Structure 1
């Protein structure tokens, strides 16, 4: 059974690390042993039944010239989330993030709100949703995916793990037409490259290899639209 916690207005970011660390829930990503540590994700609910996701890490570090002794990957993910939010790219809403080092061991937490009503691009194509979608909705989905990724890459950011399971979509139907919201998840491998073209090559190659049930025709439509946006937006890149 999930532990329940109260989140009075304005309290979340001031909550203590230990309080969040001892809030236990259901594992949705069991702890993986890697990077000389472990990392996993739990689903938790507040007393108000708000759904949250808590990424928990112990000794799960990355190293770079600025941090040769290692730094929690959660802190790199936080930096990427903040950067993408400034670019107008939707990411999960931050509730709490912190890291502590005790007796030489790092612990880190990243708590975010659930993306209510969203499904992954992987789930979308694996289900009957894609087959039932109107041509207009399908076109808008591919167009918005192209806009989001071109904005990411023109700013020099590389997702680093751009699988369909990390791209989330929410479809809307209205009298005025169908439209789609998109968001990016799992940014712990994200980093800013010196050249946006390098970020683009890495991410698109990765997405193509792991596109799963995405039809080749959809991929070609996406690539053509993405290339068009890259050319059009390049003069306005940050």
Structure 2
């Protein structure tokens, strides 16, 4: 039990750390953009600059006088300083954007490595497990998939099945094999379900394979496997059951 608590806390600690890192980077990103906008507006300010003007009179003599001339701040030496500051703010923006993109691309590409683990984890932390908290009750920015209040994605499922508890810690390939063969049995007994697939796809399920347009999603609920759209699943970065109740925990 202690090991489970340790691993669970480690998982949530990483999630929280990533969420805080994103929050800081997004905050600085917004600040740098606001700074750039403010500096750009400042350059448009007009100054009344006292200027010595030499004019020639009708008699041929010269007369000096002070006149006020309008000059934008961007055309002065101070304007160049503002450009330097704006350049630095732009560098901050680019740096933060790069960090956010790299971090979220990494976790987004780890899609399949994060969804399944189970009852023990739930009990060890008072029945609560959490996914991507920053997306709780929101939609994924890339795919539009909605996330529940615990931060888990709600995919459209083409077929569900439950693995046996003794299979939880087996490989992903074993999970897919078990799930596909179970779905085949369901298809054989359910004409409505069968109409969702082509005959070729049904034959693949029979062999324990998965058609190209699908993949098996490890739901956060222990043992639950859902057949979902492969592309949407891949592009929807999420925490999966394989890292909660499966071998990846």
Calculate the TM-score normalised by the size of structure 2.
Answer: 0.21
Give the number of the structure whose residues are more often helix, by fraction.
Answer: 2
Q: Max radius of gyration: which structure?
A: 2
Give the number of the structure whose residues are more often strand, by fraction.
Answer: 1
Calculate the TM-score normalised by the size of structure 1.
Answer: 0.22
